[in-house]
Structure formats: structure tokens, C-alpha cells
Amino acid sequence: MRKSVVLLLLLMFTVTLPLFGRDPLIYFSIVFRKQITVVGQDIQVFGLYYGAKDAQTWERCGWKNNSIFGVAVDTRTDGQNIFLAAGNGVLRSLDAGKTWKIVTDWTITEVTKVYLDPLRPKTVYATSSSFVWKSDDYGDSWRKISQGLKPTSQTYCNGLALLPSDTRVLFLATADGIMKSVDGGENWQPCGLLGREVHEIQIAPYDETVLAAATDDAGVYVSRDGGKVWRQRAMGMRGRTIYTLVFDPVEKGVLYCGGYLCGINKSTDYGEKWTHLDNEISDRTVRSLAIYPTDNRLIFAGLLNYGLWRSADSGSHFTCAAEPDGRVYCMGIF
Amino acid sequence: MKPFRILFLYALLFSVAVQAADYNKLYQQRCDSVLSYYKKLPYGPDAFRAMVKLNQNYDVPTALRIIDSVTSRPRGDMFWLYPVMSMYLYGQKNMPAAYKAKVRRSLKDYTPYRGDTENHWVMYYTSLYLASQCWPNEPGPSWFNGKSSEENRLDAEGWLNYWMTTTTTIGQGEFDSPAYLSFFLTPMFMLNQFSRDPVMKKRAEIMIHWLLADFFIDYLDGQYCGPHSRIYEPDIFDKRQSMMSKTAAFFLGDRPLFNRKGEPVNFSATAWCAP
């Protein structure tokens, strides 16, 4: 009897542990600063930064001048395990950023994004300027997964979206449209927008059949049927080259996007109409956007050359939160 | 008639041998001239100055001061890593153990970016390969990228073999320019001289011959006349002053040396001489 109670308590503790974990932190990377550094000269300090949602000062961790284009933090390890997509390859830290190892070899460089599979703890994906790569042993070894990718879509893979309910289903944003896999990347098939460079794909957190894609020079495309049909949605939008977009996790149909010299646009109807947000960053280039998981009014925007910005009122007003001369290329809240 | 032919052939071979000997003698004089100039340079945070001073066993205290500077305040990327490894390898015979340890420690504490073009990677991976050879059997945490000596060696060797094979079959990814040969060539000199693996040593030697042969067909009458894939202003307006024209003058001796600072120092310190 006593043994059963202990086991029950242990099980409850294990199940509820994530709920009592730390508050999500904001991670972002600076890739160079406004003042360009010439190769060979001393390079300014940049790399990975992190902090709380209301941070005034931000911690920098890792190497002095690491060019980071994507970050993934394993929340199952309370933020101890971090993966970075970097110019040198995929980097992994198992001690919250104190020490790092490049876990890829010379064949994998210019990595654009890295993803942890939430349902398969050992699986890691990396997109790069050449191909998509997969690790089944938490980054120790990597293999190319390119069966079905066309030469044009292999050349630059910008990012992935994993279907939350079945993470073997992947959508790949490439320099030549969207590719889809239903078997964890082993095989790929075209899934629309051929001829368009797609910078990012997002899946609505409340409806897996709703997808949105940020494209180069063609605004945003939205699919309401799981990627079968894509429709261009740019009415009222400022800017045509869109780098990043994010669904509001609470309010259905609300979508934000940001891109080249256009600040942030907002839609409340799945992209049918857009409103350009007239705020402090309305003419800036926005590279990354994120909404805080437990407060959907709190939005973070990573700007090219102007650092990290924070809005507490759904984007009506922004203030600079960090590194005002930094080129923020990627951001994530974990 | 037959003895006359044999005599003529001997005379021809003798003439070629004399010319080769003359070439090597004059080339060595140019190398000595550059080294003599470099070893007398005052202090500056320039690893090549320390390299020559140590190599020539001249003004060693200044060389040690330079080592302190470049290892305690590392700057930059493969343009830091490559000079530091050159300094270590060409200067190690006169480098005190404590200073060798400083170089080694800097390779643990400072992570240089590997660069983003082909010539950067040649410098980066050659340096990494030779560094892993200098300090073998060391674990990941003792290296700047978290990889063990063996992992670094395999990584560097993999890239170098790939680059050599690709270059000698379908050509270089970075096309010829009036400025960049040295950044491919000098790492190969270093690899050829210091690789303990005879296969890698031979591969580096073949690459030296390949790169020089590829270069000299673009050199005519004292100036570089080949493709201009990457250029700087002087390469256009004063072709005889381009880096490649100067490099050719250094190798061939067909013109006086314009200056002794810069690229020639990387060639001068090596044990290489024309075959």
C-alpha cells in the first residue's frame, strides 16, 4: 500500500514537474552589429543572449563572435540543453550555455534553423544552405534527408514546421516553395508555392489545418486545409518581403508578420485583411517575432540593426529591450 | 652521329640543371631578404613578425611580447588562427615551453569563426589539422570548439581532402583573382612542411604544384592577366602592383621586389624550393 502511494506521488511529481518549471525565457541572437566588421579585423561581441520577459539586462552566453541563425532549447531539461544553428554548424550545450560543442562535421555548415522534436526526445532537425539534416541521437550523429527534394529546393532550406500532433509531418520552407514530408523527412513532396522563396512557415496552435507562409516579394500565403491550397493574403499589408510571422496562441485568426522595412502587420481574420501597425518600429526591418506563451499581449520583435524590441499591448507600442545596434536574426521563447 | 646526339642531350640536361640551381639560389636570396627585413621590424601585434624573429632566433624578447599580445587578446577569425599556427610551427624551435603553453591555451579559450569563403576554409582547416597533430589525444573540453583532437583531425582532414579533390577535378569554387592565391598557397606550404602523414604531405605538395601551374598561365610580362573574380582598386588601376603580380615577382625574380612586407613572408619562412 505504502509502495503504491509513493509510486503515485512520484508519477504525479513527474507529470506536473513541467508546470512548476521556470518561466519561459526569451533567447535571441545578434549576428553582427550595425557597424560592419571587415573580415580579419577584431569582431565585436555578439552571439546568444537570454533573459526573462521583463529583463532590463540580458545574459550573453557562448562564444564571443558566434553567427547564430536559429535556437532551440529543450524545455524538458529546464533549459539546460540548448541547440544553435550557426555558421560553424550545429552547436550543443548540455549545461545551459556554459560550454559548447560543434556536433556536426565540415559537411554541415551555414545552418539556418534547428528544431527539437517534442514527441521524439532524441530527434533533432537542422535546415541549412544545403539540404535538411536529421539526428536520431540528440545531435551526436547526423544524416542528410533529401529524398524527393529538387536541386533548387535543396540549395537553401530556410526552416521547418512540425505538426504538433504528429511530428513526422514536416513542412519545409525552401528557396523554391514548400516541401512536405509525412515520414519524418525521409521523403519529400512539393506542397505549393513553387518558384517562391519561402522564409518561414507557421502552423496555427489551435488548428493544425491552418498554415501561413512568409515569402520573398509576395507577402503572406495562407492555407486553411493543411497545405493543399495556398492563397496569397496581402490586402492592406505594408511590404512584400516578409521574413517572419506568428499566430496569436489565444485569439483565433490573429496573425502578425514582419519583414523588409515594413515593421509589423496584423490580421484578425487569418490574413484576409491586414493592418500595418503604426508604432515605433513601423519602418524597420523585422527578422523575427514571438508572442509570450502566457501573455498574448506581450510581443517581442527582433530587428535588423536595431536590437530586440518589446510590446506589452499587442504591438500598439514598442520599446527597445536590448542591444539597440544589434542585428537580431533569430528569437525563441522557451 | 649517335655519340654526338648523346653529347648534345647531356649538354641540354646540364644547362637545365644549372638554371634550376641558379633559380633556387636566387629564390633563396629573395627569401633571405624578406626574412632579414621582417626580423628587424619593431613590436606590433602581428604573429608573422614573431614567427620570423623566432624562426631566425633574432630579437626573441620582442617575439615573446607579441605572443603575449596575440594569445591574451585574440582578435578575429581564421585570420587570427592561421597566423598563430604559423607562428607556432615555424617558430617552435626557439619558443620557450611556457609560451607554447600560452598558444595552446588560447586554442581552448578563444573560438575563431571559420570564415565564409573557400580561402578562409583552407586557412582554417589547415591550421586545425596541424593543431590537432601538435596536440593529439586531448579531450573535447580542451579545444575551442568542444571537439577532441581526433574529431578535429578527422573534420579538418575530411574538408581538406574534399577541397583538394574538387579543385583538381572540377576546379576551385572561388575563381582566380588578382589578390587571393597566397591565401590558398601558403597554407599548403605549411601543410606540406609539417604534416606527419605522408599522404597528406604529398597531397599538399601536389596542390602547391597545381596552384602555381594554374597561376603562372595567368601571368604575362610582369603582371597578372587572369580572371578578376575578387578585386580591389589597385588591381584595376595599377596591375603591376596587384598582390598576384608581386607574388609572381617574388617567385620568378623577373622584377625587383616592390616591398618585402606582406605575403612573401609566408613563403620565405618555409623550407620549400622549386622542384
Domains identified in chain A, total number: 1
A334 touches chain B (CB under 8 A): no
Tens place of pLDDT per residue across chain B (275 aa): 577 777 777 777 767 676 777 889 999 999 999 999 999 999 999 999 999 999 999 999 999 999 999 999 888 889 999 999 999 999 999 999 999 999 999 999 999 888 889 999 999 999 999 999 999 999 999 999 999 999 999 999 999 999 999 999 999 989 999 889 999 999 999 999 999 999 999 999 999 999 999 999 999 888 888 889 888 887 888 888 888 888 888 899 988 876 667 778 888 998 887 77
For A89-144, the pLDDT digits (tens) are 999 999 999 999 999 999 998 999 999 999 999 999 999 998 999 999 999 999 99
- In-domain check, residue A83: yes
Q: Where exactly are the structural domains of chain B?
A: 2-43+113-268
Sequence-distant (≥ 6) Cβ neighbours of residue A289 within 8 angstroms: A244, A245, A246, A256, A257, A258, A264, A299, A300, A301, A302, A331
CATH number at residue A92: 2.110.10.10
Task: Note whether B113 contacts A100, CB cutoff 8 Å.
Answer: no
Name the residue facing B147 among A87, A101, A110 (closest C-beta): A101
Give A-chain residues touching B125 at CB under 8 angstroms: 106
- In-domain check, residue A103: yes
Can you give the pTM of this predicted structure? 0.88
- In-domain check, residue A128: yes
- In-domain check, residue A81: yes
User: Is the Cβ–Cβ distance between A270 and A224 less than 8 Å?
Assistant: yes
For A206-246, the pLDDT digits (tens) are 999 999 999 999 999 999 999 999 999 999 999 999 999 99
pLDDT at A41 (0 to 100): 63
Q: Is the ipTM of this complex over 0.90?
A: no
Nearest CA in chain A to B80: A40
- In-domain check, residue A323: no
Range of A137's domain? 67-144
**Secondary structure of residue A78 in the 3-state scheme:** coil
CA distances from A195 to A174, A190, A225, A243 (A): 10, 11, 21, 17
Q: Which among B75, B164, B166 is the top mutation candidate for probing chain A, defined by the most A β-carbons within 10 Å of its own β-carbon?
A: B75
- In-domain check, residue A309: no
Task: Note whether A65 contacts B77, CB cutoff 8 Å.
Answer: yes
- In-domain check, residue A191: no
